[in-house]
């Protein structure tokens, strides 16, 4: 499970009005979410960031498109997409299902 799987898990198991800004983490919470939070807590001081200054968006219309095409559509540089989409083994989004591409937003 990656970002898309975690997003789908949250949407399937929690109603938006139940969550608000809080999400109860317990033994039933999916292992990937617990692992992500553990890494965040363990490494945020080492990295020197307690929160991200970069705003991110999701893009789900990428079937069979290259990162270059998505960058052009979203007015983003192709090189800026790569670090947020390391799951992508090739430079083209597969067309077998809907994949979520993370797009950093400009601060302009």
* The total number of residues written for the chain in this structure: 108
Residues 93 and 101 sit within 8 Å (Cβ to Cβ): yes
Alpha-carbon distance values, 17 to 29, 54, 100 (Å): 18, 26, 23
What local confidence, expressed as pLDDT, does residue 104 receive? 92
**Do 43 and 76 reside in the same domain of the chain?**
no
- Which pLDDT tens digit goes with each residue over 73-95? 999 999 999 999 988 988 899 99
What local confidence, expressed as pLDDT, does residue 4 receive? 76
Domain that holds residue 20: 3-47
Tally the domains of the chain.
2
**Do 43 and 66 reside in the same domain of the chain?**
no
């Amino acid at each position: 499970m990656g970002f898309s799987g975690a997003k789908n898990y949250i949407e399937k198991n929690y109603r938006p009005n139940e969550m608000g800004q809080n999400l109860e983490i317990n033994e039933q919470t999916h292992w990937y979410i617990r692992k992500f939070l553990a890494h965040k807590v363990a490494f945020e001081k080492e990295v020197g960031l307690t929160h991200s200054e970069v705003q991110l968006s999701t893009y789900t219309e990428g079937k069979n498109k290259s990162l270059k095409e998505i960058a052009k559509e979203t007015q983003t540089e192709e090189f800026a997409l790569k670090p947020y989409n390391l799951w992508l083994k090739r430079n083209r989004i597969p067309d077998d299902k809907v994949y979520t591409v993370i797009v950093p937003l400009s601060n302009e």
